């Protein structure tokens, strides 16, 4: 993938870190080194304060009340939708659907668009590097409809196998599900190119952008994918909130995902007329505080500049991979830094990743250990699990050095 970064001004991670209360703590004289943003990011004071302000001063339901604090809540809720739309350059705020998380976003596509459009013997394609959230819904859909599953495998160095891509195109699949950035390998996939190639054969494309939107400029219009899902809590926002950005004509043709309040225009005993987009897919009381908090998170990232975020992380990941490669018995996974996102996965000799993560925690270094909800990928590399360090705006070279130092201590403990 060829990247064009227009704003390469250095991002001051130490200054950024001061905005995050949790990163000010120490344990046994060691500062907290948080390297698990791929699972969930930390929250800046501005987001925390926005949540507190909502609950303290204008806690009310949205879209229903005609009193002042309800109207204020509705106004800020919908302003956040517009902020998200602009952040990813969606065509309209009506194409921004708020969900519970990216898993819910992908499941919504499977259960609504999928059940209405996928039939027996249609082909569904997904890749070997997908998170379970972009595998299991399509397996369920296949079981419900009789559609056939096909897969794009991964090369030893972490790229999509081009021969498999060509074979998938020849099948003219009904659906392609693909991650923009692997949460394990860090691979940045060429989404714009993949979408164009699969659209040529009539395929609908669903993109899991959970590891992309927080870390790099994302323009969904440029990607031209049919559906894009991402999640608030990986981009400085609250948990319990996701986004589905869908092509308007597809969303309008899809049946609702859930029935209830706010997704209706009018209800009679024998029939219902549904609300217009985006509320047609937002049944019941939403995560109001979460949406408002996401809007503040988007403001924070926009002020930093996503070009600068990407440039900072690219430099930091290159340094991390260089330093980790010097640790004896350590095996790195994924492509080289130029095609690598913010997550770096590795194994260290025969130390189980859970044991290794426990040792690192004693040094106040937080990493993720396990299969990372990507068990097919673990099978591909014939391993049970990896240790993953995932970086973000508040990390710097000192954090990498702390990780490497802790790994050397782990080697001594296990007498390697």
Residue 261 has a pLDDT of: 84
265 confidence band (pLDDT: 50, 70, 90)? confident
Q: Please give the average per-residue pLDDT across 174-199, as a whole number.
A: 98
- Catalytic one of 48, 169, 264, 373: 373
Q: Is 20 exposed, middle or buried (0-12, 13-18, 19+ CB in 10 A)?
A: buried
**Cβ-contact 263, 279 below 8 angstroms:** yes
Q: Is 234 exposed, middle or buried (0-12, 13-18, 19+ CB in 10 A)?
A: buried
pLDDT of 22 > 90? The answer is yes
Read off the pLDDT of residues 23-34 as tens digits, 9 standing for 90 and up.
999 988 899 999
Read off the pLDDT of residues 328-359 as tens digits, 9 standing for 90 and up.
999 999 999 999 999 999 999 999 999 999 99
Read off the pLDDT of residues 290-321 as tens digits, 9 standing for 90 and up.
999 999 999 999 999 999 999 999 999 999 99
Cis preceding-peptide flag for 278 (omega within 30 of 0): yes
Measured CA angle at 262 (ends 239, 59), to 5 deg? 55
CA–CA dist 161, 207 (Å, integer):
18
- Chain-centroid distance of CA 224 in Å reads 18
Residue 6 has a pLDDT of: 63
pLDDT of 2 > 60? The answer is no
Report the predicted TM-score, pTM, of the whole model to 2 decimal places.
0.95
CA–CA dist 130, 58 (Å, integer):
40
Report the topology of domain 47-302: 3.40.640
pLDDT of 1 > 60? The answer is no
CA–CA dist 106, 154 (Å, integer):
22
For 11, 87, 203, 285, 383, the CA distances from 245, given in Å and listed in that order, are 29, 12, 17, 20, 35
Query: Tokens 């209830």 map to which residue?
Result: 260
Higher pLDDT, 409 or 267: 409
CATH says 13-44+305-413 is which class? alpha beta
Residue 199 has a pLDDT of: 98
Which residues, in sequence order, are bridge partners of residue 123? 148
Domain range list for the chain: 13-44+305-413, 47-302
Residue 264 has a pLDDT of: 83
Read off the pLDDT of residues 387-405 as tens digits, 9 standing for 90 and up.
999 999 999 999 999 999 9
Closest CA to 386 of 378, 397, 396: 378
User: Is 373 annotated in the active site?
Assistant: yes
414 confidence band (pLDDT: 50, 70, 90)? confident
Residue 133 has a pLDDT of: 98
Q: Please give the average per-residue pLDDT across 68-78, as a whole number.
A: 97
375 confidence band (pLDDT: 50, 70, 90)? very high
Mean pLDDT, the chain, integer: 96
Measured CA angle at 410 (ends 404, 416), to 5 deg? 110
pLDDT of 7 > 90? The answer is no
Q: Please give the average per-residue pLDDT across 120-132, as a whole number.
A: 98
CA–CA dist 113, 95 (Å, integer):
15
């Amino acid at each position: 993938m060829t990247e064009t970064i227009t704003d390469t001004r250095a991002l001051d991670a130490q200054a950024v870190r001061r905005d995050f209360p949790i990163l000010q703590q120490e344990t046994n004289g060691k500062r907290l080194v948080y390297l698990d943003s791929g699972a969930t990011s930390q929250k800046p004071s501005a987001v925390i304060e926005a949540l507190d302000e909502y609950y303290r001063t204008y806690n009310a339901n949205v879209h229903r009340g005609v009193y002042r604090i309800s109207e204020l809540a509705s106004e800020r809720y919908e302003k956040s939708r517009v902020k998200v739309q602009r952040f990813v350059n969606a065509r309209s705020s009506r194409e921004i659907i708020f969900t519970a998380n990216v898993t819910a976003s992908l499941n919504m596509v499977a259960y609504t668009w999928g059940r209405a459009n996928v039939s027996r013997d249609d082909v569904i394609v997904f890749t070997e590097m997908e998170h379970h959230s972009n595998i299991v819904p399509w397996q369920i859909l296949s079981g419900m409809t009789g559609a056939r599953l096909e897969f794009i495998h991964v090369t030893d160095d972490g790229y999509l196998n081009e021969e498999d891509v060509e074979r998938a195109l020849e099948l003219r699949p009904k659906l392609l599900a693909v991650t923009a950035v692997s949460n394990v390998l860090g691979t940045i996939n060429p989404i714009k190119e993949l979408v164009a190639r699969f659209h040529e054969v009539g395929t609908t494309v669903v993109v899991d952008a959970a590891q992309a939107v927080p870390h790099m400029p994302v323009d969904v219009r440029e990607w031209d994918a049919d559906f894009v899902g991402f999640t608030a809590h990986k981009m400085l926002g609250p948990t319990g909130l996701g986004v589905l950005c869908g092509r308007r004509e597809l969303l309008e043709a899809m049946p609702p995902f859930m029935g209830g309040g706010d997704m209706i225009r009018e209800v009679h005993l024998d029939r219902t007329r549904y609300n217009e987009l985006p509320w047609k897919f937002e049944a019941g009381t939403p995560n109001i505080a979460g949406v408002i908090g996401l809007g503040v998170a988007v403001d924070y990232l926009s002020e930093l500049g996503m070009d600068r975020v990407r440039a900072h992380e690219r430099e930091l990941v290159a340094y991390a991979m260089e330093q980790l490669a010097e640790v004896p018995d350590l095996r790195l996974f994924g492509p080289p830094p130029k095609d690598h996102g913010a997550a770096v996965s590795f194994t260290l000799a025969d130390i189980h990743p859970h044991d290794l993560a426990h040792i690192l925690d004693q040094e106040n270094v937080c990493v993720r250990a396990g299969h990372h909800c990507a068990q097919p990928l673990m099978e591909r590399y014939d391993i049970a699990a990896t240790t993953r360090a995932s970086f973000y705006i508040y990390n710097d070279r000192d954090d990498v050095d702390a990780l490497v130092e802790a790994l050397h201590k782990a080697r001594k403990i296990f007498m390697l």
